[in-house]
Structure 1
Amino acid sequence: MKLKVLIADDEPLAREIISSYLKDFEEVETVYEASDGLEAVTQINKLQPDLLFLDIEMPKMNGIAVLDSEHLLHEPAVIFTTAYNQFAIKAFELNAIDYLMKPFDRGRFHASMNKALEKIKLSELKNYQEQWAKINLDYQNALIQNHESEYPSKLVVRDSKKIKHILTDEIRCIEAAGDYIEIIDDQGKFLLYKSISEIEKKLNPKVFRRIHKSYIINCNQIVEIRPHTNSEYHFHLTNEQVVKSGRTYKDQISDLVHGNI
């Protein structure tokens, strides 16, 4: 593991001390510096460091504002370094690994750095496991589709403990959840590492209908449809789940709400 580290502090001596302590860790490959908050945001986006040592009281933008900035495009692991203790609660609300009070010695720094290394290693392991799970599921689903007609009769999904095969006819609803989707049937919720648009293309459009940017429902699982407002409807499914359609999808659901399936 080779790390990129950014030190954001307006005090040259503080940056020098942290930089010298970092030489004790062979995992650290490169060290960069920023002397104010705006520069810190720019450097974070440009360099995408693995670890950020962040002072709080800095010119132009303080450390808390750096992490809250709408312009921040990368989220490194963070250790706050400051002479002020009143920001500690806010720092941990922002998921900081540690809060180093200045002046700190080499021993305190080492303890903080070791916590950071452990968290980064766990994060890398989690990312690796998720990528492997995605590749495995994609491969198994491709095998199924190659042996079937145009639309698969089952999907390979996972829950927290195991890989499962579920029948597409038994799917009630599919919900977008960030970089993956949740597939809901009578057994619960299962993950599939695809976007909702990707899975929509693979399913039979006569059975599965996109009714919202975040939802696809199984038309055969609809119990009733109730009007809501502004061309929106509530779809009641056989598992008692209620899914609201989006206004921009009124054309896609016109046949459903008018009984012309």
Structure 2
Amino acid sequence: MAKLRTVIVDDEPLALKLLGSLLRNNKYIEVVGECRNGREAVVAAAQLRPDLLILDIQMPGLNGFDVIKKLQSDLVPLVIFCTAYQRYAIDAFDLHVVDYVLKPVNQERLDLALQRAVARFEKELPGEDHKAQLIGAIDDITQRASGRRLDEEPGSLSSGSAVAADRKIAIPDAGKILMVDVDDIDWVDAAGDYMCLHIDGVTHILRSTMKTLSARLDQQKFRRIHRSTIVNMERIRQVTSQPRGEYLVELDCGAELKVSRNFREAIKEYLQAH
């Protein structure tokens, strides 16, 4: 099989160098990028389209979890987290079938994680949503750390009660309830039973389905541009044509999102109106 194109991410230069050296002789891995922070990782994932991301969790600024939340679903590759987290987090990774290596990284444990990644890559289905598993683990860890679970909060949209008459959505956030104005949403990304609401550079996780949340949004203002992506059309700064009839939209917040061919009519209508 072809080697897995891999991007490695760690804010500590020595840790990044060690990880690179451990991967150098692995016959299944080709390191195509090295990143020293979360922002570089987001850019690398979008531009390089790697098969595998080996990602440090605890980084200043954007941490490893933030990187995953910021990526459009079909840009999320297989992920191996590098972590020094406590046991409750490791249990969550195991529960959601998300692979990890503990720091300091050793060759034997890394090789095991890589073997699992190769096996998953060989049998995965086209368009498989890795982000859903990752977001599930991230949410579980966040809720355990705060002592609450998402399904105990009134932030689920399953009953529709989370959207108030004044167009606000209640989102659980580390034991608190954050009231978000619908019109402030820049874009939305679906990950299984979770929705990632991107607002002013911050990503909030909400348990809901695409269908349920979409029904709560202004259909003229919020349009689907991908099977898993809804965008606030008023936030579009630039539209660029891509090969195979696709578009790339850049939003005011700096996010760059792919428009699939099945939903390109929404962008055509937007361009004709402007």
Superposition TM-score tier, normalisation by shorter sequence: 0.3 to 0.5
Higher gyration radius (CA)? 1
Q: Structure 1 length normalisation: TM-score? A: 0.46
Give the structure, 1 or 2, with the largest relative contact order (CA under 8 Å, sep 6 or more): 2
Question: Please, what TM-score do these two structures have when normalized by structure 2?
Answer: 0.44
